[in-house]
Structure 1
Amino acid sequence: MSSVMRSSWPLLLGILLLMVGNGMQGTLLGIRGGIEGIPTSQMSVVMAAYFGGFLLGSLVAPRMIQSVGHVRVFAALGSLISAVLVLYAVAPDWIFWSVMRFLIGFSFCGVYITAESWLNASATNKTRGQALAAYMIVQMLGIIIAQLLLNTGDPAGFLLFIIPSVLVSLSFTPILLSAQPAPAFETIKRMSFGRLYRASPLGCIGIFLMGGVFSAMFGMSSVWGSAKGLSVRDISIFVAAIYAGGLLLQFPIGWLSDRMDRRKLVLALSVIGTLVVVATVALQPGIMWLTVAGALIGGVANPVYGLLLAYTNDYLDQSDMAAASAGLLFINGLGSMAGPLITGWLMGLIGPDGFWVYMGVLMAALSVYAGWRMTRRAALPTADQGNYAVITPSATVLAVEAALDDAQSPDDAERPAAQG
């Protein structure tokens, strides 16, 4: 790992600064929306716009990189992000914010794709797994740090919008001045959804459901906190706990997944998530137990996302992994776009608890579907499974495909796709 840090630290430092900026703007908008009196239904559109832009970026950004190159795309989209972060505070209007969120989602997707292709090219076959793991850890740490910075200013003012803008601008320096040349870039073809579903029904349905859970956590946590009357401090603690839980539990759950039927683990984690939601809604706990609940939800949702990708990967030829990853992330994007909209509708219907109810329903649905799928297909022997890869829901197809490819055992390159 030390050799990876020495060779990739400029890129990882730049990504850390980018993630701090992204983590701040998502939470800050939810808090500022409450201060401005913007209804939950309108804030849900604002939050959903980010995922719409991210989805479009996954389709368009690779073509942009092929046309004008990595450096120009990174610099152009990064500059747009920096500008939008300041413009939020200029016009606190939900329609304007929705347009800005769409642009920033599109831009972040392009920036991630560029950075991930640089990282992938800078690593060797021996160090790629460590480099990708470091990248995912840095992403999560950036969002956690962002929540701490929210307590340094007044969300009703301009400072908290200026800080992420400055951090994003500074992130360009270590990345663009890195000695690593821009790599060759090829677009990834997509597998048909029919073929992808036939390979892994659980993977497709599960990724769609978890896209909804992740977007609710990432987009609507601060909106829920504002509606609940929590302070900025409490909201920042809650959101940080979600990502801290996801970071800490990725590795032990990944270790378990390589030693058992992954579906059993998906079932167990989704049941745990459902029970956490039920307990939270029933008990209406204070901030201490809300923090614990947030850590558990994040600790369940992030590893389940990686589990579903790894499970689908187990039923594919290695030559199909890139196309399948692209298809799965598109499905995830569709679920992510719907998440904030449905959450906002439920919160308008039943109050702040709609935030928890939505995630609970999706996790319960996943547990039921995973249990049913276990009756339809025999378990794959653990010897035939690829290794679990640490993957966050914000990773683009390049990082996902590279991580899954690196996670295969040496014999897996010749392994035929599992049948059944």
Structure 2
Amino acid sequence: MVLLRSLPATLPILFVCEISFLLGHGLIMTLLGVRMSLEGFPSQMAGLLMSSFSLGFVLGSYFIEKRIRSVGHIRVFAACAAMLAVTAMLHGIWINPWAWLVWRVAGGAATAGLLMVMESWVSGESTNDNRGKVLGWYLVISTMSLAGGQWMLNLADPATSVLFSVAGMLFALSLVPLSIHRIHGPSSSNHDVAHKIKLRELYKRAPVGLVGAFTGGLMAQAFFAMTPFYGQEIGLSTQQTAQFMAITTMVALVAQWTLGRVSDRIDRRKVILCMAAVMAATGAFISVAAGYSYLALLVVACLHTAMLHTLYSLSLAHTNDWLEPEEVIAANSKLMIWYGIGSVIGPFSASLVMQVVGPEGLWLFLGGAALSLAVYVSVYLLARRRRRVDREVEVEQEPYAPLPIIETSHYINELDPRFEPHQLEFDFAHLDIGVDDSDQAESEEVSAQASVP
């Protein structure tokens, strides 16, 4: 708590809200996969339900941002938390796959709203002096809370409605810190000054980043959505399933820092290629490991997810290397759209493969997606090496900044400390001039009139 005292007073309150929300989110995402297996839902229905969550998330990312600007952060946070609490408990009241599909779309939109509120708020409260520290706290708290929620699957029998009620209570409790403290909305945001960049131009500059973001969404959401279902189908106990999900989530903390530092020294495209190759290999081998022992399954899966949970943030970092600072927010929002498209396609596609070949189809799907990415990056790098006539300009890579493994909107990129110099230049210019925009415009007008003969 001593370290938190050095942050703005609003941030610890927001972090407490985040902990409660992500505990509930981690619990219900894992619980749904287990419960669908217990209820005998076919794998393609399970995949469709999980894809509907991602669809709701993408839709919420588009429409809820306007409500934030209209009615404010606190009201939108309250509405989304209430919606999540209601939909969580409705899952336990009415066990019907088509009803669950509606709850999942609504839950995905509400989750997008909560994340947008928290990320834009945290971004607005951070400064150039503490931006790196805030991003580090956000990363650790989000990952540990998500893993903690997955561990909570052991609190009660997943065949009952108790855990759905627990998830609902956690979502409702996330409202309490905001309700009992007098706090203000975010004090600043750089989102409004972002420059636009066309998708074609973005792909021309960083095709590996765009394809990597899409593949990251495809694989990550398939993993989170279908792995609890997979665990039940191969005979894992509820405790083992919860442990498996929590450990494979927490490994992301170590993986992001380690692989990020490696990518600061080596071309990130080559790092992404190696990561994709490792994921393809482990995807093919993991079914064999599962037949050997639970420990072998866990070890191989951790190696796979260490790469998987880092893929999107590394693709984002590579893309940012080819952008001007003022283009980052707009470009990253486009990467998030493609990540969202992948997250809609991934769970249902994985479930179809599982329907055909059995539970191990999940890892065949993940391995196949990783292999496709590896082939694409290899072909691109080979073609680039031969296309010397184009004289493609090399860029200096910016330091890597890890990101949370949960679905995230483009607001969190404003916390990225790599773009501090651009913000500092703006601040110094403002201080040196010593006047506001209206005074400066008036001065320029007077000078222009004086120069007229």
Which bracket does the TM-score occupy, shorter chain normalised? over 0.9
Query: 1:35 and 2:46 equivalent?
Result: no
Structure 1 unpaired stretches of 5+: 415-420
Query: 1:410 and 2:392 equivalent?
Result: no
Contact 1:25–1:85 at 8 Å: present in 2 too? yes
Query: 1:168 and 2:171 equivalent?
Result: yes
> For residues 112 and 178 of structure 1, do their structure 2 counterparts lie closer, same or farther at Cα, with a shift above 3 Å needed?
farther
Partner of 1:88: 91
CA distance in 2, matches of 1:116, 1:328: 17
Q: Which of 309, 320, 331 is equivalent to 1:313?
A: 320
Structure 1 window deviating more from structure 2 (307-316 vs 228-237): it is 228-237
Q: CA deviation at 1:304?
A: 1.9
CA distance in 2, matches of 1:95, 1:143: 27
Query: 1:202 and 2:208 equivalent?
Result: yes
Contact 2:92–2:165 at 8 Å: present in 1 too? no
1:58-116 deviations in Å (ceiling 9; x for gaps): 11111111121111111011101011111101111111111101111100100110111
> For residues 390 and 206 of structure 1, do their structure 2 counterparts lie closer, same or farther at Cα, with a shift above 3 Å needed?
same
CA distance in 2, matches of 1:385, 1:403: 18
Query: 1:246 and 2:252 equivalent?
Result: yes
User: Aligned letter for 2:331?
Assistant: A
Partner of 1:385: 397
Partner of 2:17: 14
Q: Secondary structure at the match of 1:124?
A: coil
Q: With structure 2 as the length reference, what TM-score do the two structures score?
A: 0.86
CA distance in 2, matches of 1:117, 1:204: 23
Query: 1:145 and 2:152 equivalent?
Result: no
Paired residues in the alignment total: 412
Query: 1:130 and 2:136 equivalent?
Result: no
Partner of 2:437: none
Contact 2:128–2:423 at 8 Å: present in 1 too? no
CA distance in 1, matches of 2:81, 2:260: 33
Partner of 1:401: 413
> For residues 411 and 260 of structure 1, do their structure 2 counterparts lie closer, same or farther at Cα, with a shift above 3 Å needed?
farther
Partner of 1:74: 77
Query: 1:365 and 2:372 equivalent?
Result: yes
Contact 2:82–2:172 at 8 Å: present in 1 too? yes
> For residues 213 and 67 of structure 1, do their structure 2 counterparts lie closer, same or farther at Cα, with a shift above 3 Å needed?
same
Q: CA deviation at 1:376?
A: 3.8
Query: 1:44 and 2:55 equivalent?
Result: no
Structure 1 window deviating more from structure 2 (115-124 vs 79-88): it is 115-124
Q: Secondary structure at the match of 1:375?
A: helix
Partner of 2:224: 218
User: Aligned letter for 2:398?
Assistant: G
Partner of 2:306: 299
Paired-residue identity, %: 28
Q: CA deviation at 1:44?
A: 0.8
Contact 1:391–1:403 at 8 Å: present in 2 too? no
Contact 1:21–1:165 at 8 Å: present in 2 too? yes
Contact 1:386–1:409 at 8 Å: present in 2 too? no
Structure 2 unpaired stretches of 5+: 386-391, 426-453
Moved over 3 A (4+): 1-7, 175-180, 184-191, 376-382, 408-414
CA distance in 2, matches of 1:303, 1:181: 34
Q: Secondary structure at the match of 2:172?
A: helix
Contact 1:244–1:298 at 8 Å: present in 2 too? no
CA distance in 2, matches of 1:302, 1:6: 29
